[in-house]
């Protein structure tokens, strides 16, 4: 059989002489991945992609932990405190579509390596920030790199068979929650004894290990086929099959099952075509809402704990606060309560895993937004109990984490391979706008008007319910679209 490598080409996986099959048979990457199934390769990829999520989760979680400490040490205003978090998300917003373009043009693996280097560079240098301005600059560099992390979901997704794909995407997110819990756990020990600089240094070290792990994963064969590199795609698929102790389907590797094998390269304009316009706008609203709320809960938790609020059971002993400024650095008990709230992500993953392939992506998102709205509403109740306040924050975080996870499963399944990176990148960019705004709600508005701040988070949770129900496509059980 003759191999072809032109832009519209096909590459033979097997020849008639070697396996006795008719060379006129064809198969796509989707067919190949479904045939080789789950095995050793997916476990290896899960570990590495999961490590990436964990390392980057630590860089995000640290914002809520270190900001109150820096505010007290450098005598910052609430606006300056909020800017430290906002600049990270601003960097993510600016860079996320760029990284989506890089992933679709240069490959998923290369994009992840480049953005990881940038995150480490900014995170490591943040440790040595001499002034507030330098801290803002270095955290901005971290944000520019973090804008590319979402593409890890594409690389993982594109190696998964159709069966239980939604659940397996959710499993990869366990590592994000693990990273969150690890960061809070480190903070419990480091912050009261060594301070925020050591926390920043320790948090950047896993990124070095991640760069070493990337050499053990291949490029996405879907990307290679979409860029006309059929021979490389076939080599990788054969390697995956060998690791899983399976065989590829007989015949030739083709771009799609249709007769037209021309590979289309997409652009951001395609997101607004008649076919995807409605989905794009609704997904943007969903991603904005989920990230505005999920990071808002992380921030309002530390802000609540750093200021007295008798209605919610937060009493601050005068010996624990600066008598002149009223500035109170969080103690071990505060971090333990924070750990409990953030650990809700773990249970959220379990619930998402159990439901997303059964009742569908849209329904899970709608129910999750509704659940978060209910617990946010409960925060208006004057319970005078810190335990109850922590419980309400736990529930709100639990359900919004499920909504967030569902978005990472649903979005790549809506768009075809040619614009999957751009589509996910655009959603991620819109989400980061929500993350840019939420520090000013949690750190600036909330100290002055708690109920107004909570009303904003409740309102966007309700908007998320509506947007999820209006999505035109349910992707449960649907193969990834190639074009």
- Mean pLDDT of all residues in 244-264: 68
* Range(s) of the domain holding residue 301: 267-309+328-482
b vs e for 225-238, b when ≥16 Cβ sit within 10 Å of the residue's Cβ? bbbbbbebbbebbb
182 and 135, same domain (yes or no): yes
Torsion of CA 51, 174, 178, 461, to 10 degrees: 120
Is 341 contained in some domain?
A: yes
332 and 210, same domain (yes or no): no
Torsional class of 22: left (φ above 0), alpha (ψ -120 to 50), beta (otherwise): beta
Average of per-residue pLDDT values in the chain: 81
Is 16 contained in some domain?
A: no
Helices assigned H by DSSP within 277-325: 277-305
- Number of domains, the chain: 2
Is 372 contained in some domain?
A: yes
Is 391 contained in some domain?
A: yes
Is 13 contained in some domain?
A: no
> Which of 254-258, 282-286, 383-387, 478-482 is the most confident on average?
282-286
Q: Decide if pLDDT at 241 tops 80.
A: yes
In tens, the pLDDT along 341-372 reads: 888 888 888 888 888 888 888 899 999 999 99
239 and 283, same domain (yes or no): no
Is 193 contained in some domain?
A: yes
Is 96 contained in some domain?
A: yes
In tens, the pLDDT along 450-474 reads: 889 999 999 999 999 999 999 888 7
| φ and ψ at residue 253, rounded to 5 degrees | -80, 125
Per-residue model confidence (pLDDT) at position 335: 81
235 and 301, same domain (yes or no): no
235 and 302, same domain (yes or no): no
| φ and ψ at residue 378, rounded to 5 degrees | -65, -25
Q: Decide if pLDDT at 321 tops 80.
A: no
298 and 195, same domain (yes or no): no
Terminal Cα distance for the chain, rounded: 27
What pTM does this model have? Answer: 0.73
- Kindly state the helix (H) or strand (E) to which residue 143 belongs, with its residue range: helix 132-146
What secondary structure letter does DSSP report for 443?
I
243 and 304, same domain (yes or no): no
> Which of the two residues, 418 and 226, has the higher pLDDT score?
226
- CATH number of the domain residue 475 falls in: 1.20.1250.20
180 and 277, same domain (yes or no): no
């Amino acid at each position: 059989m003759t191999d072809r490598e032109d832009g519209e080409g096909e590459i033979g996986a097997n020849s008639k002489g070697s396996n006795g099959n008719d060379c006129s048979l064809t198969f796509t990457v989707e067919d190949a991945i479904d045939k080789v199934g789950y095995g050793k390769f997916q476990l290896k990829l899960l570990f590495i992609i999961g490590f990436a999520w964990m390392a980057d989760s630590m860089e995000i979680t640290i914002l809520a932990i270190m900001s109150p400490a820096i505010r007290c040490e450098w005598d910052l205003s609430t606006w300056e405190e909020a800017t430290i978090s906002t600049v990270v998300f601003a960097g993510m917003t600016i860079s996320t579509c760029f990284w989506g373009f890089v992933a679709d043009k240069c490959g998923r693996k290369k994009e992840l390596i480049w953005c990881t280097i940038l995150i480490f560079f900014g995170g490591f240098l943040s440790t040595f920030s001499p002034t507030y301005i330098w801290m803002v600059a270095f955290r901005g560099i971290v944000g520019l790199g973090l804008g590319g992390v979402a593409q890890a979901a594409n690389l993982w997704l594109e190696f998964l068979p159709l069966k239980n794909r939604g659940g397996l995407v959710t499993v990869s997110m366990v590592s994000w929650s693990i990273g969150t819990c690890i960061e809070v756990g480190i903070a419990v020990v480091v912050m009261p004894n060594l301070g925020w600089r050591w926390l920043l240094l320790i948090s950047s070290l896993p990124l070095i290990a991640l760069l070493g792990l990337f050499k053990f994963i291949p490029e996405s064969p879907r990307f290679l086929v979409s860029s006309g590199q059929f021979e490389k795609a076939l080599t990788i698929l054969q390697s995956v099959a060998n690791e899983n102790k399976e065989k590829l389907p007989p015949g030739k590797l083709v771009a799609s099952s249709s007769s037209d094998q021309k590979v289309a390269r997409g652009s951001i304009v395609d997101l607004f075509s008649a076919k995807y316009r409605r989905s794009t706008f609704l997904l943007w609203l969903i991603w904005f809402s989920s990230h505005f709320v999920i990071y808002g809960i992380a921030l309002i938790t530390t802000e609540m704990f750093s200021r007295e609020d008798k209605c919610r059971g937060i009493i601050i002993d005068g010996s624990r606060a600066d008598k002149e400024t009223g500035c109170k650095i969080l103690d071990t008990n505060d971090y333990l309560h924070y750990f409990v709230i953030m650990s809700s992500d773990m249970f959220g993953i379990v619930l998402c895993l159990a439901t997303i392939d059964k009742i569908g992506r849209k329904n899970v998102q709608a129910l999750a937004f509704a659940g978060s709205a209910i617990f946010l509403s409960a925060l208006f109740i004057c319970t005078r109990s810190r335990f109850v306040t922590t419980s309400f924050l736990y529930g709100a975080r639990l359900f919004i984490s499920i909504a967030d996870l569902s978005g990472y499963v649903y979005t790549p399944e809506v768009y075809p391979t040619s614009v999957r990176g751009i589509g996910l990148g655009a959603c991620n960019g819109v989400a980061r706008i929500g993350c840019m705004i939420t520090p000013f709600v949690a750190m600036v508005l909330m100290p002055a008007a708690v109920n107004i701040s909570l009303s904003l988070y409740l309102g966007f949770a309700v908007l998320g319910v509506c947007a999820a129900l209006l999505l035109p496509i349910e992707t449960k059980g649907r193969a990834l679209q190639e074009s």
